[in-house]
Structure 1
């Protein structure tokens, strides 16, 4: 059974009425912060995620469909996904900082180059364009997977899939 407050909030959201946000905040912020804090232990970051959650709630308010989910379930999913995204982003940023400090990319001498791999660009050029762009970004331009995702405007999961398939195709060339 849907409460009167929830019905009121839903109608305000559908109308694009900004009065919905303070009502949602008053009724759901404590529960949403609890959801976020189970994922993000840092209090300040959790508060930031809560604010980002409310921004997303407002941005996607027209997409809410009460036939698909109750209001709290919809809010919960937005809060949870925002927290997970923030945590991943924070961890990736931390990993990038470590990776740069420990990088040995520029420490290879020409004596260590394998003659069999010098024709790699030629073989990459034989692949489907979507695999080429990912492999070029990652291996020839030195981007991380996240940087390639941002630069190419392709979801990170798609970058990983194309990398895997592209490498599998290259393996067929090098290990027939």
Structure 2
């Protein structure tokens, strides 16, 4: 198996094989191909450039270290990486260090899909805003809170003062609609 040539296309199975054989060229290819989209999602969650860059770096380190755990039967490589990035961003958002930053850097704790920040422009590059805009407003708000702000369903229920069952029903309906849209 040869080294990856800059600018060449490589199939996902071949890319995974190269990553498993610890090819630094494969990691560079992965970074070049996906870093902008991942950064956009991370930024949407943390709303702070330096923190988003740190989480992006942590994401690629974890991908490199855990590529052997990737299971293609559970989804595409990008989806797996997106879950890693999202989870790391939410972990950072909930961390003591981040909450201390929030006390000194007022105003960046809230994440909104309507916000026209730099991160949203990157995310919109993968069509996220257009897809979410097709949801009912209440579904969109709940999905934004769960997936971009890291709230659990019970936290959303408490924060918005609506029954937990209603939150679950609306999130499920929204996710089914997203699945339908993305087919």
TM normalised by structure 1 equals 0.48
Rg larger for? 1
